[in-house]
Amino acid sequence: MRRNWHRAIVVSLALVAPLPAYAQLSSMDSFIGTLSIERGEVILTRCDLAASHYLLRDVPGGQAVARYRKDGRRASADVMSSYSEEGDRNVLTVAEFLDYQPGKSCHLSDALDALTPADAPSTQGTPADARANGGHATPAVLVGHYYLMGVMETGSELLLRPDGQFDWALSYGALDQEAQGMWHVERDEVVLVASAPSAQKPLFSYLSTAPWDEETGNERRRYQRSEIEATIRARCPIFPEPFVSATPLTTADNAPAPSTTILQQRAATALRAANVARTNAELLAARLMSDGPSTGAEPAAPQVRQALSDWQDARALAIEAARAAGLPEPTLADPTLPAACTMSPADAAESGTARTSPGVAIRIFDPASDQPARNLPVTLHFANGTKEKLVTGRSGFAFAPRGATKAVSLTIHTEAPIASDMTITFAPLQHGIVRIGFDRQQLMARPFDTLRLRIAGIALFIEGAKGRYERQP
């Protein structure tokens, strides 16, 4: 079934130019899920394979969790954090929230709640023929492709096939759910019965080994840079949240165009303001991150974040003013920040644009949908008996450390809904890409077992919910 729903992508602030090397980075990763407050604690419920609950805490000096606690609304987010265990609890130490969407969720129950008006009357228990507008429909009349209408920011499709099979999909915030199965008609209702995934199909399977290529090298650079940037943000809590650039300079439609002299004066003023903003950000960042004894006069992290945000706005306005005046775009270097807040030359070179040496990559994805397996724990085993614990990234890739000996097998660990440790062997590999397929349907909880849709004319309604499925010609 064709999917054409789109979701906005938030771009985070780029890190500034590299400074001298710093200590070894701790592990940071991306955890996508729904934020909520439960018994006074901020909890992330994962959207992907494990669907686990995580207790969230800020990194020292961080404010992301504290800010969310003040808001308190359910939200979807991509949580950049490091993982630890405290007893039987999963804990994430949070650097920041990316792609933060207040009021959104990645769980079907929340999506259906959003479809249901608070005052919707229930017809549960009412005879079916008393609810129908007219006689009983036949399956042949209902076959077709339906789209959910009348619900903002929610996309859903339903395909009723002539052979009695259906395909259903829903997209709401960070939630993407799919179901397949059989459908039939009971009086005035279409009844969807979701099929359980086949347990006879292997959960994970070896697909092939491919040569190392340029795109995989690019993916490794993105993977490494993401980890480095997340770790820098964790130890240096001064970077602003993703931001919208300052509004360009404009004049009223009926106002006369400013003279060239005035435009040049505005450009000079904007340039001075940008330089002042940069200097202010540098001074505040240096005072906050100073290794010297505390004087009690250090700025708070939010103050430094605001200064950096002000600098970004001032730079955007200076560039816009220069363009409006017909002047060359000014060269405005990024603020010089403390070493703890910057990328070392070695890391910058490692994750930069230069061609990298080949290595061993693991890619785990669903061949049917090409969906990657994100945040999946993997243990890579080498010919000399050593092993390395890895986690797949956003594109389903995990990478062996540079200089490792030949890889010979990997063990994939899952917790829920299927607890499994599966080891897959392959021919010894020094350089290349091991492609592993996984059955996405087995690892995704079914969105429903049975869904009943009331037939009303040419539309199908979810009981007690707003919106309707309408068939397309």
pLDDT at position 223 is 82
Which is higher by pLDDT, 19 or 75? 75
Taking a C-beta distance cutoff of 8 angstroms, is the pair 83, 90 a contact?
yes
Encoded tokens for 229? 């940037």
Element at 411 (helix H, strand E): strand 407-414
Residue 31, helix vs strand vs coil: strand
Q: Whole-prediction pTM value? A: 0.51
The answer, yes or no, to whether residue 255 has pLDDT greater than 80, is no
User: H helices within 376-432, ranges in order?
Assistant: none
Residue 179, helix vs strand vs coil: strand
Encoded tokens for 339? 């070493």
30-66 per-position pLDDT tens digit: 777 889 998 889 998 876 544 578 899 988 777 889 8
- pLDDT band for 121, please (50, 70, 90 cuts): very low
pLDDT at position 51 is 53
Average pLDDT, the chain: 77
CB proximity list for 159: less than 8 A, separation 6 or greater: 1, 144, 145, 146, 166, 167, 168
Neighbours of 242 (CB within 10 A): 15
Degrees (nearest 5) of the Cα angle 243, 74, 176?
85
- Beta-sheet strand order (sheet of 360-365): 204-210, 432-438, 360-365, 397-399
Which phi-psi region, left, alpha or beta, contains residue 39 (left: φ > 0; alpha: ψ -120 to 50)?
left
Task: Using alpha carbons, select from 356, 357, 412, 406 the residue that is nearest to residue 385.
Answer: 406
With pLDDT > 70 as the criterion, what percentage of the chain qualifies?
74
Taking a C-beta distance cutoff of 8 angstroms, is the pair 183, 192 a contact?
yes
What span, in angstroms and rounded, lies between the C-alpha atoms of 59 and 234? 6
- Comparing 98-107, 145-154, 306-315, 428-437, which segment has the lowest mean pLDDT? 98-107
pLDDT at position 111 is 53
- pLDDT band for 349, please (50, 70, 90 cuts): low
The answer, yes or no, to whether residue 4 has pLDDT greater than 50, is no
- pLDDT band for 138, please (50, 70, 90 cuts): low
The answer, yes or no, to whether residue 7 has pLDDT greater than 80, is no
274 CB-side CA count, 13 A: 23
- pLDDT band for 301, please (50, 70, 90 cuts): confident
What span, in angstroms and rounded, lies between the C-alpha atoms of 301 and 429? 47
What span, in angstroms and rounded, lies between the C-alpha atoms of 341 and 286? 10
Dihedral sign (CA 66, 69, 75, 79): positive
Encoded tokens for 336? 């010089």
Distance of CA 266 to the CA centre of its chain: 40
pLDDT at position 305 is 84
* DSSP-assigned states of every residue in 78-134: EEEEEEEEETTEEEEEEEEEEEEEET--SSHHHHHHHHS-TTPPP-TTS-HHHHSSS
149-188 per-position pLDDT tens digit: 877 667 889 999 999 999 998 877 656 778 889 999 998 8
Taking the alpha carbons at both ends of the chain, their separation in whole angstroms is: 15
259-287 per-position pLDDT tens digit: 888 889 989 999 999 999 999 989 998 88
The answer, yes or no, to whether residue 360 has pLDDT greater than 90, is yes
